[in-house]
Amino acid sequence: MNRTSKNINEMTAAEKRALLSQLLQEKMGNTKKYPLSYAQERLWFLDQFQPASAIYNIPTAIEINAALNVRAVEEALQELLRRHEVLRTSFSNEDGGPVQLVHPPGSFKLQVEDLRSLSEGERAAAAQRLADEEARQPFDLTLAPLLRARLLQLAENRYVLLLTMHHIISDGWSMAVFFSEYGTLYEAYCQGRRSPLPELPLQYANYAVWQRQWLQGAVIDEQLNYWKQQLAGMPELLELPTDHLRPPVQSFRGGWQAFVLGAAVSRRLREISQQQGATLFMTLLSAWQILLLRYSGREDIVVGTPIAGRNREETEKLIGFFVNTLVLRSRLQRHWSFREVLAHVREVCLEAYAHQDLPFEKLVEELQPERNLSHNPLFQITFVLQNMLTTTPQTGPGNPGETAPAGSFTAEVGTSTAKFDLTLSVTESGDYLIMGLEYSTDLFEAATISRLAQHFQTLLEGITDNPEQPISQLPLLTAAEREQMLREWNDTSKPYQPQCVHELFETQAAQRPQQTAVLFRQEQVSYEELNARANQLAWYLRELGVGPEVKVGLCLERGIEALLAILGILKAGGAYVPLDPEYPRERLAFMLTDAGVKILLTEERLLPKLPEVDSSIVCLDRDRSAIAGKNSLQTPQCGITPNNLAYVIYTSGSTGKPKAILGRLKGIDHYVRWEIEALSVAPGTRVS
C-alpha cells in the first residue's frame, strides 16, 4: 500500500491498522539506535536541566506473605528485560540530539537483604528507610537498565520487593503490564516450565519511529488548529492562596497527603455521572475545578491530566512511556449549577479526547508560552483518576489473591517531590475513592493541604446532596470551621467604657511622667513635657475658637511637632485634617475647602507650599512664645465624648475627586485597645 497516496484521515479503520503494523514492524537496519518518542524527549531535556533528580522515578513496594522462590523472582525479572527492549535502553546525546540505545540482553542480579536478625520494630523501620532510599536514588539515563530491584526479607515467609523505574521507560499502564507478565513468568519458573508468553511483534522503539513519521502534515495541522483555538487567551498562571511566596526557580520539593471518600458519597457521584451521561473522571474533574474557582476567584480554570496514549491495539502489551498530557480548560460561570458545570466539562473532555494524539511537547513548542522557571507552562495544577490496574499491586508476586495480614508492614514510598503546584490523584477501590494530594512544599504547608482536602470532601458531599445548587453556594467549610467563624470569631463583645485618645495619653503621662514618650532621630520628649506642651497648644486653639467638631488643618512633616499638634487639637476638642506638604496646591485647596477648615497649623518654612486660604494660620515655630504662655497643667474642658469627630482623611482620588473619611474618637480607642491586646503591648514597648 502506498502510504502517501491517501490522507490518514481518509483511511478506513482496517487501512489504518495495516499502516500502523507496517510502520511499527519496519526495522532500522542493524543499528540499535532509535529516535526518542516526543514524551521521552521532553523527559530527556528535563533531565539535562536538572540531572541527578528523582522527580521522575516510579517507585513500587510490594509485600509478599508466602514462601518465595528467590531464583524464580530473579529469572522472571531477567526475562522481562529480554522481552521488553525498553527495559534495557539507555539514552545518549549524539550529534546535538538525543537517541535511545537498546542494549543486548544480559544477566540481571537481584539485590537481596536479610533483615531477620533485627527486632520487629527495627525491621519495619529499616524496610521503610530502604524503600525511601530506593525511591529517592536518581538514575543516570546514560546507563542501562533504568530499572532497579531489591528484595528485603523480614521473616521466614515475609518479604518486600522494591522496584524502581524511570518514567522515561515506563508509565502506569506499563506497570500493570509488567506485573501481569511477571506473575505469569514467576509461576512458570517455580514449576520448572519455560515462559508461556508469546514473543512481542514490536517494541517501544518502533512506536517512537512510527509516531514521528505519522505526526506530520495534515494530521498534526488539524490537531494543532484545535488546541490553538481552545487555549487562545488562557491565563498564564492559576494562583491559589499559598503559605509562601512563589520562588523564582522551582525546587520540585513536595509532600503527599491521602484521604478516603466514603462509600455513600462515592456511590452518589457515580450515579450523578450516569444520569448526565458522563464518566466519573468528568464528574470529579468538575468538582476539582469548582474548588479551584472558589479558592482562586477565577472562572477560567486550566488543569492538566495524563492520558494513557494507547488508543491502538498494537501498543496495549508494550512497556514504555506512552502517556500524553491533555490541557483541559473550562470557562465556568458562578451561577451555574453543578449539573451545568458537568455538562460543560463533559464537552471539554470529549473534544480533548478527539484531539489527544498531539504530544504535549509539540503543543508547548507551537504555542511558545512565556517560559518562567517559577512555574510549569500552560498549567500548574493537575488531576489524575486511575484504577487499581495502573497502581501499585496489593498482592504478592506469584501468590495471587493473598493480601498482607492486618498490622503487617506496608511501605509508603515516595520521592518527596512534586512536579506541579498541586495534583489531585483519585483511585477507585471498590465502593470507595482513595484520594491523594501531591503538593509543592515551596508554596504550601501540610496544614493548608489538610484543610483543602477537608474542603474538597465537604464540596463533594454538598454536590451529592444538591447538584442543582449554584456552585458559588456549595459548602466548603467543615462544621468545625463554620462554628469557629460564626461563633468564636464573632464573639468579640467585651464590656468596657470607651475613652478619648488624649485621655488615655494623659493617664500614661500621670503614671510615668519622666519616661520617654517620643523618640525622633536625635530628639526625645518625656510624657510630662509632651503633655504640658499639648495643653498649652490646646488653650491657644480654644481662644481661636476650636471646639467640638471644628476642623483644624495640620500641614507638618513627620516628627515630634506633628504628634504634639494632634494631641493639642484633640485636647481642644477639635478634629485634625492631615495635609501632606508635598501634595499639589490644587489638592490641598480642595481638602481645606471641602473639610471646612477654620484653623491651619503649620510652620513658616512650609507656607510657600500652601494655597491661599481663608483659614487662620498658626505657625508652631513663629507663634511658639504665645503658645508657651498658656496653662500647661490642665486640659481645657471642652465637653467632647468618644462619639465626637477625631479626624478627617481623604482618599487618593484615583477614581475621581478625593472623598472624605470621618473618624471618631471611639474608633481610635477601639483600635488602640485591640492593638495592645493582639500585639501584647506592655509598658516600655516601642511602636514605630
Looking at the predicted structure, is the pLDDT value of residue 508 above 60? yes
Looking at the predicted structure, is the pLDDT value of residue 30 above 60? no
Specify the DSSP class assigned to residue 314.
G
Mean predicted confidence (pLDDT) in 52-75: 93
Is 346 in a helix, a strand, or coil?
Answer: helix
How many whole angstroms separate alpha carbon 41 and alpha carbon 45? Answer: 6
pLDDT score at 500? 87
Mention every residue, 6+ apart, whose C-beta is less than 8 A from residue 465.
none
Pairwise pLDDT comparison (517 vs 148), residue with the higher score: 148
pLDDT band at 369 (very low <50, low <70, confident <90, very high): confident
pLDDT score at 38? 92
How many whole angstroms separate alpha carbon 89 and alpha carbon 25? Answer: 18
Is 376 in a helix, a strand, or coil?
Answer: coil
Q: What is the pLDDT of residues 218-227, one digit of tens each?
A: 888 999 999 9
Beta-carbon-side half-sphere exposure of residue 139 (alpha carbons within 13 Å): 27
Cell numbers of 403, please? Answer: 493480601
Mention every residue, 6+ apart, whose C-beta is less than 8 A from residue 554.
562, 565, 566, 569, 576, 577, 578, 579, 601, 602
Complete DSSP assignment for 558-596: SSHHHHHHHHHHHHTT-EEEE--TTS-HHHHHHHHHHHT
Ordered structural domains, the chain, with CATH: 29-206 (3.30.559.10), 251-311+321-389+415-480 (3.30.559.30), 501-678 (3.40.50.980)
Mean predicted confidence (pLDDT) in 139-150: 95
pLDDT band at 354 (very low <50, low <70, confident <90, very high): very high
Beta bridge partners of 573: none
Complete DSSP assignment for 617-676: EEETTTTHHHHHTS--SS-------TTSEEEEEE---TTSS--EEEEEHHHHHHHHHHHH
How many whole angstroms separate alpha carbon 207 and alpha carbon 323? Answer: 13
Pairwise pLDDT comparison (473 vs 368), residue with the higher score: 473
User: Are the beta carbons of 183 and 62 closer than 8 angstroms?
Assistant: no
Q: What is the pLDDT of residues 157-180, one digit of tens each?
A: 999 999 999 999 999 899 999 999
pLDDT score at 7? 55
Name the percent of the chain lying above pLDDT 70.
89
Mean predicted confidence (pLDDT) in 51-63: 91
pLDDT score at 684? 65
pLDDT score at 490? 75
Looking at the predicted structure, is the pLDDT value of residue 103 above 90? yes
User: Are the beta carbons of 373 and 367 closer than 8 angstroms?
Assistant: no
pLDDT score at 247? 94
User: Are the beta carbons of 43 and 146 closer than 8 angstroms?
Assistant: no
pLDDT score at 13? 55
pLDDT score at 19? 55
- Which one, of 179, 204, 219, lies nearest residue 388 by Cα? 179
Looking at the predicted structure, is the pLDDT value of residue 427 above 60? yes
pLDDT score at 16? 53
Q: What is the pLDDT of residues 180-203, one digit of tens each?
A: 999 999 999 999 999 999 999 999
Looking at the predicted structure, is the pLDDT value of residue 3 above 90? no
Taking the complete model, does pTM exceed 0.75, yes or no?
Answer: no
